[in-house]
Structures are given as structure tokens and as C-alpha cells.
Amino acid sequence: MKSQTRVHALFQTLWNKKLNNQCQYVDADGERCKTSAIKSHTVQRGRVLASIAEDGHVFEIGIPKKQSPSKERTFQKVGVNRASVFPGFCNYHDTILFSSSETGQGTLSSYEMALLGYRSICHETFKKERAERVYSNRQFLSAIASVDLAAKRSAEAHLEGTRLAIRDLTRQKQAFENAIHTKDLSRLYGTVFTLAAEIPLAFSSSFAPEYTIDGELLLPEQYGNWNSVGVFCGAIKERNIMGFVGLHDNDEHDISKFFKSLVSVPMNRVGGLSLHLAIEHAENTFFRPSWVSKLLPEIREELLSRFASGIPGEPNSRKANLVGQFDVINVSASQRDDFYP
């Protein structure tokens, strides 16, 4: 138990270590911006978070900070100023790249879809690089090795998986930068559902789909290249939407199939689908506090245990049938817009 406490303490220290993060934007000449990144919001604060916040707060699912080694997830309160921030871009690039995509009016253009996809890849890269730093730290690894052999093996597997993911993300980030600079969107796929009513959650994330939405397995060969799907949900451009975006960057992991399968989602299940995506795939999710407080205890427990049990890259039967699961959010979509090459 003592060595587990040490692992946990080291993890917290390394994870929360403040670094001088450089803006992730790379220009058309391949030069990375040299300015420091600000803490920008991946889920836009002024409108998207504001629309679900109550008294300046939202809920997220996480492990309570002060609680030692417990792995119990809970819904916890977070102030909207702190929710979903990551040091991704400098002030200038954060503003010119993303402010019109989120705060304007009307429908999203395919170029704005590409920008939102780019941001979700950058956010994922930031998270994976931080995990890589923690799991390759010698002190941390020797602390884990002192727990037991199983813990050591699982940390090594985690590190290997994280490094493969960084390889895929680096390739995809470059592909998005190319598309943005050249405005060549011929490999861009996207789908936006407009919801008929507000929903009590918002997220912005990306995931590498193991299945199409209608349950077809979609795995590359072992050590093959993966693509990602960026997904965002909330009040964007004064509409309540859930959107998906990705670049078909290589044929080994054919995400065009994922996008084409979205036509099979019944419009009356889109609100329900948003919750299941948030639980099974999206980590960066925020909930309206009064909605969380009113959840039936058994549903709350079920959602938390599913959130904890999701392992990226590992197919589970629930991921094969996201649309068919119980409806806690009964909101229909009124419109579906597809962006295909």
C-alpha cells in the first residue's frame, strides 16, 4: 500500500508540473510559432460552457484530487474559468484560428470544421505528450516496479501505446496543417447534427474509432496507422450541435466508413448518442450541475463505471452499439449536414 501511495503522489507531481508550453501552431513554411501558449479553452467558455453552467460552475467526471490512491470516479464541480483549459496556442493563434468557428452565426463551413478538427488533434497531442513524460520518468517507473510485476507491465504497455498514439497524432497534425494552409479539403469528412433542443452536456475531444457507428469493426493491422475523429458538442454558433470531423489520411484505418455510417443514426437518438460518446470516448466532457444532481442513483453509478472502464483502442461491445443504448437524454436532431470529399 505504501508503494502505491508513493506512485500516486509522484504521478500527481509529474502530471501537474508546470512547463513552459510553446504554441502548437506550425505555419505554411513548417515553422513552429515561438510564442508561449496561453491556457485556452477547448470547449469555448463564453457560449458553450456558459450555456450549461450554473452559478459559474459545471461538472466533470474525474478522480478527486485530494483523495489518495482510490480510482473511484465521481462527478466533481469545476469553475468555468478552469474547465477544459489546455496550453495549446498563443493568444494570437487561439483568436484567429478559433473565435469565428465558435462564436459566429450560421452553419459551420468545411474550413471551420477543419480548424475544429485541428484543435482536437492538438489537444490530444498535448495530453499524450504529458502522459509520455510521466510514464517515461525513471523515478516513476521504479516506484511502479516496486508495487508489483503486473503494475510494471501495465505501465510499460501504457507507455508503448502512448508512443504509438503520438506517432499517429503527429502525422495527423501535419495533415491538418497542410489542409488548413493549402485550403485543400479534399480528404475532409464531417457530419454535423443540429439538435432540436438544448442538451445538458458539452464536450470537445478526439478518438480513434474501433467501430463504425453501425457496429462494423474498423481496426488497422497491429502497429498500423490510426486516424482520429474529432467530436464536439454544445452551443456552437448559436445552435445546439454535435459535430464529427476527420481527415482520411491513410487507408489502413478507413475513417470514411465511420463518417458514412453516421447516416444510420436515427434522428431521435442523437441526444442519447451524445451522452454515450461522452462516456465511452470523450474525456473532455462537462455537464450541467442540476442535470447531474437529478440523475437516478443507479444511472449515475452506471455512467461513472462505464467512464472508468473505457480503455482506448480496445474494442468493447458497448462501443459497437452506441446508438442502441438506453436513452437518458431524449433529444432529437432536426438536421444532419454531411461534409464529404
Does position 33 interact with Zn ion (CB under 5 A)? The reply is yes
Closest CB to Zn ion among residues 89, 232: 89
DSSP-derived secondary structure letter, 38: P
* Residues linked to residue 79 through DSSP beta bridges, in sequence order: 57
Q: CB of 36: closest distance to Zn ion in angstroms?
A: 9
What part of residues 62-101 is at the interface with Zn ion (CB under 5 A)? 90, 93
User: Given the rule CB under 5 A, which of 28-36, 137-145, 168-176, 206-214 is the region that contacts Zn ion?
Assistant: 28-36
Q: How many helices (H) and strands (E) does the chain have?
A: 10, 10
Closest CB to Zn ion among residues 25, 203: 25
DSSP-derived secondary structure letter, 241: E
Q: CB of 230: closest distance to Zn ion in angstroms?
A: 20
Closest CB to Zn ion among residues 118, 259: 118
CB atoms within 10 A of CB 28: 10
The 3-state DSSP class for residue 47 equals helix
Q: Is 227:296 a contact under the CB 8 Å cutoff? A: no
Closest CB to Zn ion among residues 97, 192: 97
Q: CB of 94: closest distance to Zn ion in angstroms?
A: 8
User: Given the rule CB under 5 A, which of 19-27, 64-72, 114-122, 268-276 is the region that contacts Zn ion?
Assistant: 19-27
**End-to-end C-alpha distance for the chain, whole angstroms:** 55
Q: CB of 22: closest distance to Zn ion in angstroms?
A: 8
Give CA angle at 202 (233, 301), nearest 5°: 120
Q: Which residue has the cell 458497448?
A: 318
Q: CA nearest 340: which of 189, 222, 234? A: 189
C-alpha cell at 122: 492538438
Closest CB to Zn ion among residues 25, 339: 25
Of the candidate residues 3, 4, 35, 137, the single one contacting Zn ion (CB under 5 A): 35
User: Given the rule CB under 5 A, which of 20-28, 75-83, 161-169, 225-233 is the region that contacts Zn ion?
Assistant: 20-28
Of the candidate residues 25, 59, 86, 176, the single one contacting Zn ion (CB under 5 A): 25
Q: CB of 97: closest distance to Zn ion in angstroms?
A: 9
What part of residues 232-291 is at the interface with Zn ion (CB under 5 A)? none
Q: CB of 23: closest distance to Zn ion in angstroms?
A: 3
Amino acid at 295: L
Q: CB of 91: closest distance to Zn ion in angstroms?
A: 8
Distance CA 24, CA 88 (A): 6
Closest CB to Zn ion among residues 41, 93: 93
Q: Is 289:57 a contact under the CB 8 Å cutoff? A: yes
Size of the site for Zn ion (CB under 5 A): 6
C-alpha cell at 196: 432540436
Does position 23 interact with Zn ion (CB under 5 A)? The reply is yes
The 3-state DSSP class for residue 62 equals strand
Q: Is 61:75 a contact under the CB 8 Å cutoff? A: yes
Q: CB of 100: closest distance to Zn ion in angstroms?
A: 17
Closest CB to Zn ion among residues 93, 130: 93
C-alpha cell at 168: 499517429
Residues that bind Zn ion (CB under 5 A): 23, 25, 33, 35, 90, 93
